[in-house]
Amino acid sequence: MSITMYRRNLKYSRVKNLYKFASQKMNTVFTVESSLEFDTCFHLEYTSKIVQFEAQPVGYKYQFEDKTLPYTPDFKMIDVDNVETFVEVKPLCKTSDLDFKARFKQKQAAALELGTSLVLITENQIRVNPVLNNLKLLHRYSGLQEFSPLQLKLLTLVRSNGFLTVLQISEHLYLSLSELMASVIGLISHGALLTDLSKGNFGMQSRVWVGHEQ
């Protein structure tokens, strides 16, 4: 079967809320259809193994009950191994519906004919804290394009020590935590500093270190 591709255009309506996500990784603003898709963007933006992603990518047609139907994945992502994957984002409560399961199976089959895969993720993978809260914090400080003199000083300090907590950096540089926090988070959001976002809400006891490429 030949798979037909097409692109869908999202439009505002009275019954549907649209959300905007500004991606520094992709240098664009994506429009998504739900708060769950919006939260997914934070994971795609800051997962280092994902090098590219796109919301509402070019869709394709699939066969279901003797009909040819259109389908647009919620996302397309490409990882560091150049493997392309389509992503469907769905609330967990809707994934047990028999009609959804039957349709999704056919959508996956059509994706395979295109040489890619289609995966399903729910809020169980997306709305995991403290990770999601920390990713949103990083995004809040991701706008700066150039490092400040303080941030360059921070990088040198952390590089020479290996691992430091935010509190230890504050003590080394004689800065208050309020003065320091924005600079540290900005460096993390750009990948210049690394931290474990799953350990707890980011704060003064969070450890940071410099990535190998820095």
| Distance, CA of 53 to CA of 73 (rounded, Å) | 12
The pLDDT of residue 214: 45
What's the alpha-carbon Rg for the chain, to the nearest Å?
A: 21
Tokens of 204: 């003064």
The pLDDT of residue 32: 95
Supply the DSSP string of 70-89, one letter for each residue: EE--SEEEEETT--EEEEEE
Determine the 3-state secondary structure of 210 from DSSP: strand
Name which residue leads in pLDDT, 212 or 48.
48
| Distance, CA of 31 to CA of 100 (rounded, Å) | 24
Strand order, beta sheet including 5-6? 5-6, 59-64, 67-71
Q: Is the pLDDT of residue 187 over 90?
A: yes
Task: Tell me how crowded residue 32 is: count the other CB atoms within 10 A of its CB.
Answer: 22
Q: Are the beta carbons of 31 and 10 closer than 8 angstroms?
A: yes
The pLDDT of residue 147: 85
Q: Is the pLDDT of residue 19 over 50?
A: yes
Name which residue leads in pLDDT, 3 or 7.
7
| Distance, CA of 75 to CA of 41 (rounded, Å) | 9
Confidence band for 177, pLDDT divided at 50, 70 and 90? confident
Name which residue leads in pLDDT, 62 or 4.
62
Q: Is the pLDDT of residue 56 over 90?
A: yes
Task: Write down the pTM of the prediction.
Answer: 0.87
- What tens digit of pLDDT does each residue of 103-162 get? 999 999 999 999 999 999 999 999 999 999 999 999 998 876 678 899 999 999 999 999
- 136's CB contacts (< 8 A; 6+ apart) are 42
Read off the pLDDT of each residue in 188-202 and give the average, rounded to a whole number: 93
Q: How many CA atoms lie within 13 A of 166 on its CB side?
A: 23
